[in-house]
Structures are given as structure tokens and as C-alpha cells.
Structure 1
Amino acid sequence: MDAESQMREVKYAADISSIREAEAHIKPFIHQTPVLSSESLNALAGRQLFFKCECFQKGGAFKFRGACNAVFSLDDDQAVKGVVTHSSGNHAAALSSAAKLRGIPAYIVIPKNALKCKVENVIRYGGQLIWSEPTMQSRESTAAKVLQETGAVLLHPYNDRRIISGQSTISLEFLEHQVPQLDTIIVPISGGGLISGVALAAKAINPAIRVLAAEPEGANDAAQSKAAGRIITLSETNTVAWWW
């Protein structure tokens, strides 16, 4: 099955049921990350602020939640041939780590301009590197070739129900176990896998909660797309944040 066919087959509309299933899948493997607060920042904001510290998650990012759920959602016949993705950062390392836990191959298509530390993380977690040119077209075509050669399962960094459901477990921890009185959540938007899942779970738990999307002004493709009513692709970005 080619990459396009796999994408058509995978529903990426998650719901509270798939999110709770994800929680059960990943609970043995993830950290329940801490929530911290700061009196200094509270005073500056005039609000009580709580920070969900996913920097303390395995792999250093929330990406491990989605990758872990996706890998452990596969049946044995699917899993034995491994998984493949294209990523320049945390998703690549997270998928490598999750695949290693299950004992299956992880084929990671990564652009030649990826940060050295990100590449080293993939290697450390046992992912098999396949280089691509630093363009989305090259990444996708290289991943499609790997799929054809290996029969592995494509796990997209964000357009995948299993990934979205795994990321969503942040809301379950936050609102059901740690800070149930929250009235607003601010979430980085990037590719959308995190905020879509967090919003789904948060609204299912508390329909009145506000969910705000945040992105750097120098990489505000989502804000521009919403204003234009169509997808806007930026020719370049200006931000200290590194794209998944």
C-alpha cells in the first residue's frame, strides 16, 4: 500500500473514546508530567498560571505520547514490518523510541539540514535514518519509496487519528488529575496534532473551557490561513522554535 492510500485509510478525526483508549495504551510507558507554577509570572499576568511540563516527557517532548499510542495500536501483522515517518525533529526521535520499545523497525526520513542533536536522538533510540532533501516534496516522496520497499506503516507527525489521540492525553492528565479548575488552555499550534487533540479532550471534559492557539509571529501560517479562508504556506519562517 502506498503512502497516499495509507493516509486515506487512516481516520484522523479523533474523539474522546479514542483518546481514552490512547491513555490505556500509553500509560505503562509515559511519564505523567508535572504541573508547575510561578508566583512571579502570576503577578505579571494578573492570573494564576499553570505550566504542563512536557519537557520532562520521555524524549523531551509531548511527541512521545502520540508516537507511543500509534505504535502500540498496530496489530502484530502490521507492526512486524515496522513504521515509517518523515520528520526533522521530535517526532522522529519519539517514533524511534516507541518502535524500540515494541521491538520493531522505525524508518525515519529526515532532511539533510536537520539539527545534529535531532539526528543523534534518532540514532540513539534505534531509528534507521534515510536522508532526504530539505523540502516537503522530497520528504514525502522519500517516505513513499520506503513504504513501497518495506511494507511498513506510515505514521504522519500530525495527520493521524492515533497520533492526535495520543497527544490528547495531556488534557486528561491536566483536567482530570492535576488542575481541574482550569478555565483556559493555551496550546502551541504548529502542525495541529497537539492542539486539535487537546481541544477535543478539553471540550469533552469541560465544554465551557477556552482553548487558545499560539504560534510565533514569524511563523504564523495558521493565523494567516484562518484570515484568508485557505491554506497559506510560508516561504520562510523567523523563529527560535524548531518545526517538528
Structure 2
Amino acid sequence: MTIPQTTPQHTAAQQQPAPQQQPAPQQSAPHQQKYQVRLDQGVAGAARIASGAHVVVVVDVLDGHGLLSTADVLAAVAAVSDAGALVLHATAASSADVARLVLDRQAERGDRAVVAVVAAGALDDDGFRSAVEDVLAAGAVVDALAASGIDFSSPEAAVACAAAVSLRGAQSHLLTASSSAAELAATGREEALVAARTPAAVATVHRAPLVAEAPDRPGSARAGGGAPHGGGPHGGGPHGDGSRGDGSHGEQSEPA
């Protein structure tokens, strides 16, 4: 198991009075902005951590529960992400592929890539509900990134990673026993559960970068649309077991 690195965080900066109504924030949460790997939940959480991220990973394991479909969540998260961000849909099974894509993005940039991992959760009539299957799968993504050397993670990302690693053997049971699975079963949509038991090992590119990165130094500018993934398989690397991929961009000891 590779444990993401994290550092003590200053909390004194969070001294603003809470607003009466809580609209979806449009700025990075101050306590995660310094980290290379960030994690939050839901579309509002994506708005908190997506600013400045070069890769945004939406983790939505079960489609069809709550008021928003996976497609709805992906569209909403893409809308709050930077135009230059690569937006992916992933599960625990495709976590190693996500790490590979992030390494590819770093190679394109010639610099480290900031990753925002979003556990989709569910939007119900009474508000947002955290989905345990999404949190654990998001933690598996963080673990795969750490195994690839991308381990300057926020405390939120580190906690989800530790949960995913410690509960790895129970994830199948936790998926079928979750509130999301119960909702699907009660509404006759068991096919979504069947699909979730055999997930793809390849992450889906929802949106390639829309703009080229600013040429602020020689050799760093790249055309925005050239995501190398292209939706095809990457060969036989194992997923979910901390495989390191083919790159070594792990010297992430300092925030940008």
C-alpha cells in the first residue's frame, strides 16, 4: 500500500461567517488549493476543487440513482472545470488507467498536473447524499495516483485512499449493500448493479482540454485537444493493485 503524503494545514484562514444560503462555490477550497491531488463530493464539491486542476476525475459507480444521471453529473462538473482541464469518468477498476492518463498529461505539460477527484454522490429531493461506493472508488483512484508517484494529496484525498485500501476486499459487498444499490433494486433497475460488478478497466474521456495551455515557458505549450487516450485500451497493466505505469513523475514534495 502506498500512503499519499500530506502536510499539516493552516485552518485559521477559514474565519468567514457562513452564508445563510449556500450556493455552489466557484473558487477552490483554500485548504485543498495547495495540493496536487484534491478530493471532494458532488457538483458543489467539484466547483470547490476544480479551479486550476489539469485533470478532473468524476467517480460515479452506479448510474440511475438520485435525481442526476452519470451524464448529468459529468456535464455539470465539466461546466465548473477549467477549459484546459481533461475531464474523465472513472471507477475503482479504471484507477490505474487514470494514473496513466495523468502521467501522460504531465508529460504533455512538462510539469506536474493537478488532479481533482470528485466522488459524485447523489442528489435527492432533500439534498445531497454521499455515496459510499463513490467515496471508496475515489479513494482507489488516489491510491493508484500515489503508487505512480503522484502523492502530494490533501487530507480529504488521503482519508478516502486509506478507506479504499483497508476495505478493498469488502468493496463488492459494500456496493451491493449500499443505499444507492437499495434504491436501484427498489425501483427495478438491477441492471445498473450488474453493470457495476463488471466495470471497464479503461477510464472514459468525457471532455478533452478545450484550450491550449499558455506558453509561459519554452516547451510547455500544447494543443488542447490532443488527449493521448483516445478511448482505447492501454495494454495489460493491472488495475487497483498499485501498478506504477511507465512514468516516474513522483517528486511532488512542493506545491506549485
The two structures have a TM-score, normalised by structure 1, of 0.33
What is the TM-score normalised by the length of structure 2?
A: 0.32
Greater RCO, 1 or 2 (C-alpha within 8 Å, sep 6+): 2
